[in-house]
Structure 1
């Protein structure tokens, strides 16, 4: 895909990978950026930075879980600013905890943002792309969408689901000249992951490198974009010797004392 002169919509654009992608698209010549996030203040700061690059910016402060509001906002944006050529679904949250200590509200938040929010805006935009007969959709998954990791069960589940959703849409929308791509970053040094206990031996990449890899992948028409040699090695190992990779993941996972595993008592009160 040649992104020059195109209109792109980026969710999760107020920080992290979403912000880096929006800035990189601006540097590479997109005509217009529609930026979606819940944090109005941060969204405005990113918009100001991008406008200095000479790109038109439209901010859409939205909670993607609010279906009616999202529908109205996208319909108005399409009417006022023209068709969207590129949709990048980057909004996401992560909660790290041992499964036995997980809390349902955190699980529901991950599913609501990572899956339902992505589904909501993709459905709205994809239907309009079908009418115009072209478009590209990028769903940001994760390396954990290929390889699940201890202490990240629900997050891994949502990222696996994004890969499956992307593969299904790729087949369904191909006849309408719409490309659907999965972007799979490994550990990326963002505000979100700084609150997590990192896995040992994993070298974090930067949001800027993720954004650059996306632009390069769009130019190559790649259906899936893995980032970094560690990601390629892990996926290869998972195909050839999954038992070995599972052992490595267990050794690399944060130690129990860091994650505060719960203590359970039996019927006699013994731990």
Structure 2
């Protein structure tokens, strides 16, 4: 898929990977961006930066934990701005703690935002894409959707779930001419990651590199896009040497 001349909706677009994807799409000649996030002011700042590049921008201040708000926002967006060719589900939260010390409200927030909110907006847009017989859906998982990380159990669970959901959806929507893609970045230098204790030996990559990898993967019609050599090394080691890799993960985990 070439994003030039297309319309895309990106969640989590006010910062981090979502913002970087929006900016990269603008550089690639996208026609219209619909940016979704909770923070209205940050969305406005991103929109101003992108509009300076000559791209049309619409901002939608929506809390993805509120299904009724998502329904209203997507119905209005589709009615006003259709066709929407591309959905990028990038919104997410991460909390770090040993599972036995995890607080239930934080578990619920991760599951609601990372998984249920993503599924809700995907369902609403996929139905409409199916009627137009065209669309691409990108679900942003993580390397932790392939390799579970100590102290990040709930986050890992949601990211594993995104991988499985995307694989199932890819088969279901193929007959509607809808491509479904998983994006799996390694640790990325974002505001969210800066609030975490990092694993030893892991080198964060930039959001811009993730965005560039996504554009390349879309152009090559990749179903699954692993980002960064660390992602390839980790998944390969877990597959070939699972017990050794588990010991390495234990050694690299931060003390909490």
User: Could you state the TM-score of these two structures normalised by the residue count of structure 2?
Assistant: 0.99
Greater radius of gyration (CA)? 1
SS of equivalent residue, structure 1 residue 151: coil
Cα deviation, residue 77, structure 1: 1.1
**Distance in 2 between the 1:39 and 1:17 partners?**
15
Q: Distance in 2 between matches of 1:69 and 1:104?
A: 24
Instruction: Give the equivalent residue in structure 1 for 2:229.
Output: 229
3-state DSSP of counterpart to 1:42: helix
> CA offsets per residue over residues 141-162 of structure 1, 9 Å max, x none?
0000000010000000000000
- Residue 130 of structure 1 is matched in structure 2 by 130
Identify the residue that residue 106 of structure 1 maps to in structure 2.
106
Q: Which residue of 2 aligns with 1:45?
A: 45
Q: Secondary structure at the match of 1:192?
A: helix
Distance apart, 1:82 and its partner CA: 1.7
How well do the aligned residues superpose, as a CA RMSD in angstroms? 0.6
**Aligned pair count?**
256
Query: C-alpha displacement at 1:134, in angstroms?
Result: 0.7
The superposition leaves residues 209-229 of structure 1 with CA deviations (integer Å, 9 ceiling, x where unpaired) of 000000000001111000111
CA distance in 1, matches of 2:10, 2:244: 37
Q: Quick one: distance in 2 between partners of 1:227 and 1:77?
A: 31
Task: Show structure 1 runs of 5+ residues with no match.
Answer: 260-271
The aligned residue for residue 248 of structure 2 is 248
**Equivalences for residues 91-240 of structure 1 within 5 A:** 91-240=91-240
TM normalised by structure 1 equals: 0.94
Question: By how many angstroms is 1:28 displaced?
Answer: 0.3
1:81 is displaced (CA, Å) by 1.4
Cα distance in 2 for partners of 1:160, 1:81 equals 32
The corresponding residue for 1:263 is none
Shift of 1:120: 0.7
Rounded Cα–Cα distance in structure 1 between residues aligned with 2:150 and 2:2: 39
1:25-82 deviations in Å (ceiling 9; x for gaps): 0110110000000000000000000000100000000011211221111111111112
For residues 67 and 228 of structure 1, the distance between their equivalents in structure 2, rounded to whole angstroms, comes to 34
1:264 corresponds in structure 2 to none
| Deviation per residue, 1:130-183 (Å, 9 max, x gap) | 000010000000000000010000000000000000000000000100000000
State the 1:238 CA deviation.
1.0
Summarize the alignment of residues 14-53 of structure 1 with structure 2, pairs less than 5 Å apart.
14-53=14-53
Where do 5+ consecutive residues of structure 2 fail to align? none
Please list every run of at least 4 consecutive aligned residues from structure 1 whose deviation after the TM superposition is greater than 3 angstroms: none
For residues 194 and 117 of structure 1, what CA distance do their matches in structure 2 show? Answer: 23
- Aligned-pair distance for 1:122? 0.3
Corresponding residue for residue 83 of structure 1? 83
Give me the whole-angstrom Cα distance separating, in 2, the residues matched to 1:152 and 1:182.
20
Q: Secondary structure, in 3 states, of the residue corresponding to 2:136? A: strand
Q: Secondary structure in 2 aligned to 1:149?
A: coil
CA distance in structure 1 between the aligned counterparts of 2:45 and 2:39, rounded to whole angstroms: 10
SS at match of 1:48: helix
